[in-house]
Amino acid sequence: MAGTWVKRAGWGVGGAVVAVAAYLAAWPVPIQPVAWTAPAAPGYQGVHAPNQRLAQLNIIDLKGEVGPEHIALGKDGKLYTTVLSGNILRMNPDGSGQEVFANTGGRVLGVDFDAAGNLIAADAVKGLLSIAPDGKLTVLADKVGSDPIRYADAVVVAQNGKMYLSDASTRFAPKDWGGTFEASVLDILEQASTGRVIEYDPASRSTRVVARGISFANGVALSQDEKHLFVNETGKYRVWKIAVDANDLDIAQPGPQARVLLDNLPGYPDNLMRGQGGKVWLGFAKPRGAAIDNMAGKPWLRSLTLRLPRALWPIPQPYGHVIAFTDDGKVVADLQDPSGAYPETTAITETADRLYVQSLHAHGLGWLPKP
């Protein structure tokens, strides 16, 4: 009798093992991974040597709001910050006088002001929006031709009024995949490089693709002469410099209109913000992870990863890190907090006396006094 029980138990365990193996091998996942070659991670050395310059931030309480992903200074001297709830908060530079300026019903990730004082917003759910000083909201663009803008991420407004928007992924829209972070993980694991940069011309109300083929197109900033765009390619750890007059350029074959300005960075570059004194600020959402780099040439392994519980996904630990560079690609500032106490330091907004730190998930708005 005991032998029969042992045999049955053995069959049960064996069946469970087979079922788990079959699940890990064949359960459908949303990504179709593409093999690529990840450069060897540089680590934290040279201009990126570890430091504590971003540690012990001052925090402005956002009264329950989460994720001050982008911060802009208005002509009225107020700070405008986007948060997870869909609200855009307006406040004094010291954080006092907080109020809801507008709610888009989506998730705004990037903002800039146009010459008329309208807040131009890249909403990951709604597309490219204009919010008037009285809070009235207008959709400027949610398509390029007949193709939807699925993941509006960052926006910058040129002096001639044209707007440049990153559409991070044409595969994974946050509204369909559980939010902005979840959709970004899917896109970066897949590496199909479907991100693009779009120009919107308010004079003609027309859109066009400037460049495409980007592995999660993220932060966008203009060069000082406004002849080029800086574009973060988050999935491949680099920053591109692309001519604004490029038209539907595939960066797999860039030619003279595009080049990699910063390559093989130590983390995932997120937002870009033009600072003072010719600087462009860049934030890293996460540090590089060896597990993800080691899967670059193993698409099957990336598929298997998504069959695991989310807690087992190879998401790197928090590490605070922002840098500033000049238009020619020279890194002129590097601020870090290895403890990652302030999560996802996605960029810096620089004012005359402060550096405001952006974050996708923080419960407060971080800031440092300028040295």
Residue of 300, 322, 253, 271 whose CA lies nearest to 82:
271
Average pLDDT over residues 175-179: 95
Cα of 331 vs its chain's centroid, Å: 20
pLDDT of the residue at 312? 83
Torsion of CA 81, 87, 91, 95, to 10 degrees: -70
User: Residue 308: its pLDDT value, please?
Assistant: 87
What's the CA gap between 309 and 307, in Å, rounded? 7
Cα distance between residue 319 and residue 337, in whole Å: 6
Q: If you average pLDDT over every residue of the chain, what do you get? A: 93
Q: Which of 8-22, 165-179, 301-315 shows the lowest per-residue confidence on average (mean pLDDT)?
A: 8-22
Query: Does residue 324 register a pLDDT over 50?
Result: yes
Phi, psi for residue 26 in degrees, rounded to 5: -130, -10
Tens digit of each residue's pLDDT (9 = 90 or more) over 183-210: 999 999 999 999 999 999 999 999 999 9
pLDDT score of 48: 98
Between 18-22, 215-219, 264-268, 354-358, the lowest mean confidence (pLDDT) is in 18-22
At residue 369, the pLDDT reads: 96
Pairing of strands 206-214, 249-250: parallel
Average pLDDT rounded to a whole number, residues 8-20: 52
Q: Are 279 and 350 in contact (CB under 8 A)?
A: yes
Q: How confident is the model at residue 15 (pLDDT cuts 50, 70, 90)?
A: low
Length of the chain: 371
Q: Which pLDDT score is estimated for 23?
A: 40
Confidence of residue 112 (pLDDT cuts 50, 70, 90): very high
The pLDDT of residue 24: 47
**Three-class SS of residue 259?**
strand
pLDDT in tens, 211-265: 999 999 999 999 999 999 999 999 999 999 999 999 999 999 989 999 999 999 9
Report, as an integer, the average pLDDT of 272-298. 95
Q: Is residue 325 predicted with pLDDT exceeding 50?
A: yes
Which has the closest alpha carbon to 199: 186, 216, 212? 212
Measured distance CA(301)–CA(289) in Å, rounded: 15
Predicted confidence (pLDDT) per residue in 264-282, tens digit? 999 999 999 999 999 999 9
Burial grade of 214 (CB within 10 A; 0-12, 13-18, 19 or more) = buried
- According to the model, what pLDDT value does residue 309 have? 87
pLDDT at position 12: 57
User: Which three-class secondary structure state does DSSP give residue 195?
Assistant: strand
Residue 296: pLDDT band (50, 70, 90) is: very high
